[in-house]
Amino acid sequence: MEDPKPARAQSSRSRPRQPKEGAAPESKGPEAKAVPASGYAIADPAEFASNMVRVGQQSQKLLADYMKRQAEKIGKEPLDPLNIGGAFSDLLAAMANNPQPMFEATYALWNDYLTLWERTARKLMGETVDPVVTPTAGDKRFRDKDWQENQVFDFIKQSYLLTANWLQSTVGNIEGVEPAQAKRIRFYTKQFADAMAPTNFILTNPEVLRLTMQTNGENLVKGLDHLLEDLDRGQGQLAIRQTADAFRVGENIALSPGKVIFRNELVELLQYDPSTAEVYERPLLIFPPWINKFYILDLRKENSFIKWLTEHGYTVFVASWVNPDRRLAQKTFEDYMRDGIFACLDAVEQATGVRDPNVVGYCIGGTLLASTLAYMAAGNDNRINSATFWAAQADFTEAGDLSVFVDDAQLEALQQQMENAGGVLSGGKMATTFNMLRANDLIWSFVVNNYLLGKEPMPFDLLYWNSDTTRMPEKTHLFYLREFYKNNALSRGKLEIGGRKLDLKKVKVPIYLQSAREDHIAPFRSVYKATKLYGGPVRFILAGSGHIAGVINAPAAKKYQYWTNDELPDTVDEWQQGAKETPGSWWPDWDAWLSKLSGKKIPARKPGDGKLKPLGNAPGSYVKIKAQ
């Protein structure tokens, strides 16, 4: 099948690419030694053959190493830790009990293929025809021009999209499967469809195929080297490198000046230097998630939330959680409350003399904060003046795709894995779970770039932070998954900590709930449900973007938007109907709310002014502990 409009030979590095914010220029891949006119011809057959021999040798080594590592794991790990077999057994049973929808779906797919073949034939004859199917908005996989201009690749693309869409819609409409199981089936079906995309294979990705021809396969040799390195780094698990190792915490990221003023075995408390002559009397205490490290709040001066807060007159304290090892495997969720939140509240009082700071909880740090507020309310403890939640859930009935990982079989398998690892979950396993939520962006794009194109990943601070993973202690992690994701015990009033049953209705302090429209970890529909849980005044806002950029959005960037509505109707859909959109960052809205709760202005305090003397410079030592 001849393309009437041959593609001009072009390597991936010759096409201009928009750099990501905060990223250095992209590294170059293998150099093309010759550029055939067709774009899909081998530049030097002899060198190509030599490189293919090297690829074969590397592949043999790769396979041998993989088989050896897998053999060592036999009997040590569950055979199906994600319980995928159980989910699809239920699907097959439901299909067998009601085969008619499957017959109808298959007939519809066949008709779509007939239409595709007919339109492709007409296009070959020179007609202008509309595509049968197109990628969804935001799908970056098919950006290469030959997916549109080369009829062979256009046909491959549309065939894949038809099949992938059909597969996902079909399994999503099978009746007779329990809702939670149906959600898992849809999730893993999408994982399969994403994995089988033509962009992930040499012969069906025009960009990879061109570069392979032009460099005589040097990109594949380099890519296999990268793959072996990543397997070694992950100790047998594939640890895909998402960014060049160009960052050092405390040297070119996490640079806001401050001191460590308190430390125990779970947390270091950082107090940041003031940026103004006067500050609000009431300090601000922030609890980030322990699933990641705190310096997402302080990547660069241009987008540092910490820097912005100090410039707006706040005395800022941030908890830096330790990266736990086996010694801390039996630390509980209650320990994170007592040795984390309570210990930091005591330290803030000693450092400033203020007993009741305003407090922030981000992601799981917010879930811990919500639980702590309910615990404190049950004991008439009023040491928190107000609470802000960034992308944090208290009601988990609509918790998003992370809930697919918490059925009984998976939790038992996870417990076995953690016990075999000495009572901790490795940072790599946590990273894989989160990357699966956005597989095309965080897995397959790097498979193509690193292994098929043979390129080095770009230096990108956000992805460096994303790859700087932490371990999870067994007791805390299993409690969190069971009691929150599986049982939704906090919102139902059934969670008990330290002998106290937790009731969020008893929490009367002012609450600010931030959510993000595209958040796939703490969906805004889930966050909104907390507006009906607390007993005091609540403000809810919806920001643009997702779990990270929806929170870390400095006003100077003039990006995204946010929505506000002083009313809190029963559903978030009703809330959205009456919401007002404001361009830019939501930070000024929060500042207007928070400043009214922060007291009068006083001369700026510095770390060490109070009863606690500095133990070292920010960002501290805990943040530099690496996970394996």
User: How does pLDDT run across 430-443, given as a tens digit for each residue?
Assistant: 888 889 989 999 99
Question: Among the options 197, 363, 431, 447, which is catalytic?
Answer: 363
Report the distance separating Cα 407 and Cα 429, nearest Å. Answer: 17
Q: For residue 582, which phi and psi values (nearest 5 degrees)?
A: -125, 125
pLDDT in tens, 195-241: 999 999 999 999 999 999 999 999 999 999 999 888 888 777 788 99
- pLDDT value of position 76: 67
Reported as a single tens digit per residue, the pLDDT across 605-618 is 999 999 999 999 99
Contact at 8 Å (CB) between 503 and 384?
A: no
Give tens-digit pLDDT for 65-103. Answer: 777 777 776 666 777 888 888 889 999 999 999 899 899
Under the banding of pLDDT at 50, 70 and 90, the label for residue 478 is very high
Look-up: residue for tokens 């790599």?
Answer: 428
Identify the pLDDT of residue 410: 92
Taking only the tens place, the pLDDT of each residue in 494-552 is: 999 999 999 999 999 999 999 999 999 999 999 999 999 999 999 999 999 999 999 99
Phi and psi at 107, nearest 5°, equal -65, -40
The whole-angstrom separation of Cα 327 and Cα 361 is 26
User: Measured between alpha carbons, how far is 79 from 73 in angstroms, rounded to an integer?
Assistant: 10
344 is catalytic: no
pLDDT value at residue 2 = 33
Q: Give the list of residues 6+ apart from residue 175 with CB closer than 8 angstroms, or none.
A: 94, 98, 101
pLDDT at 421 over 80: yes
Give the pTM: 0.89
* pLDDT one-digit tens code per residue, 149-192: 999 999 999 999 999 999 999 998 888 899 889 999 999 999 99
C-alpha pair distances (Å), 542 with each of 303, 464, 604: 20, 27, 32
Model confidence at 17, pLDDT cuts 50, 70, 90, reads very low
Cis peptide before 569 (omega within 30 of 0): no
φ, ψ (nearest 5 deg) of residue 478: -65, -40
Nearest to 184 by CA among 396, 414, 430, 406: 406
Residue 95: which of 189, 19, 21, 210 has the closest Cα? 189
